Amino acid sequence: MARMAPRGRAEAHRAATPLELFFDLCFVVAVAQAGRQLVHALAEAHPGHGIPGYLMLFFAIWWAWLNFTWFSSAYDTDDALYRVVTLVQMAGVLILAAGVPRAFDGDFAVVWFGYLVMRLALVAQWLRAAHGSSGPERTTALRYAAGVSLCQIGWLAVLLSPEGARPWVFLALAVAEMAVPALAERDHQTSWHPHHIAERYGLFVIIMLGETVAAATVAVQSAVDEQDELAGLLPIAAGGLLLIFAAYWIYFAVPIHLHLTSNRQAFLWGYGHYLVFGSAAAIGAGIEVAVEQAVGEAHVSLFAASACVTVPGALFMFTVWLIHSRHQKRGPAQQLVLPVSAVLVLSCTFAGNAAVLLTGLVASATVAVGATLTARQGQALDG
């Protein structure tokens, strides 16, 4: 067995591996399941049940992905043992995905077992890293192994707690999970690679947006097949597509790896992506609800259906600005583009049948204004 040595943080040409891309694809299934349950709850006018359930399940999905991503950035040896253990983690993801519908109904047993499979594999990876290291690096790896193990045992409390207390128990354990990296690395930072981490997060954004495109396409296709409502659906399809394209442009408009110079900056940026990823995926669910409302299959008002698109759209814009884009923006004009656009997107909720189309147009205008201001700044610097 080869020693699991840390990768170099300054390593040149570090890029995502085929195994990492394969790992990410397994999460498409889990995200699709969570999105489908969210659509059902919102369309049946049960946001009090659907939104907390989505937030909890998406945290579980996102945190499992994050654990693997940061570990692989620091310790990916890509040997046979590493690949086998990663495949075990992928099996755990698929078990988790299979348990998502049950979890929305309050049964977290399958999700917990899927997490157990993933966590046993992750702990094995950290123990292997500890075995191949010494000093503070070994201590950090052992702290990770212990912290992950304790948190996994703690998740049993979600299974045993009464339904009313379950969200609060979940919140407490989520905070404990997020505290593990800070505690484990307080004396020694793992050698995650800034460019590699930025690329991995960007690829996951693309997966979230791709899932949104797929969900919206299926919704429109089903509605057209069952109802002769093409005239009413075209504005929703066009607005949704413009919003998704704009979301892609907005996120990738600036390079971020140069900002990730320490654990403090990287962890705040990385944790904040829970809202970026979650809102990106929720846009697709919102478009599905808007389509169902347009053809009379959803038991919600037009205003509520519009909000299912505008709220995650505005949240995506604001969160991307807050944790991502503002670090590369110069001057008040550039800094205000996304926050102002988020408010404008929210105001589109009141636009009736034109809400989704108008949201897409506002998002497109946001891209145009941002690109224009960036070009002008470049010209001023050249001059």
pLDDT for position 255 = 82
Give Cβ neighbours of residue 359 (< 8 Å, ≥ 6 apart).
239, 243, 309, 310, 313, 345, 348
What does the alpha-carbon distance between residue 107 and residue 28 come to, in Å, rounded to a whole number? Answer: 22
Mean pLDDT of all residues in 162-180: 91
What does the alpha-carbon distance between residue 313 and residue 272 come to, in Å, rounded to a whole number? Answer: 16
When mean pLDDT is compared across 122-131, 229-238, 313-322, the lowest value belongs to 229-238
- Whether the pLDDT of residue 155 is over 60: the answer is yes
Tell me how far CA of residue 128 lies from CA of 2, 6, 20, 66, in angstroms.
10, 11, 19, 19
- Whether the pLDDT of residue 134 is over 80: the answer is yes
Mean pLDDT of all residues in 19-32: 90
> pTM (2 decimals)?
0.91
**What digits encode the pLDDT tens for the residues 94-132?**
999 999 999 988 888 999 999 999 999 999 999 999 998
More confident of the two residues 244 and 376: 244
**What digits encode the pLDDT tens for the residues 279-310?**
999 999 999 999 889 888 889 999 999 999 99
- Whether the pLDDT of residue 177 is over 80: the answer is yes
Mean pLDDT of all residues in 240-250: 93
- Whether the pLDDT of residue 221 is over 90: the answer is no
* Nearest by Cα to 56 from 32, 40, 41, 34: 34
Long-range contact set of residues 124-128: C-beta below 8 Å, sequence gap at least 24: 124/85, 125/4, 125/71, 125/75, 125/82, 125/85, 126/71, 128/1, 128/4, 128/81
Tell me how far CA of residue 364 lies from CA of 175, 179, 238, 288, 371, in angstroms.
36, 38, 12, 21, 11
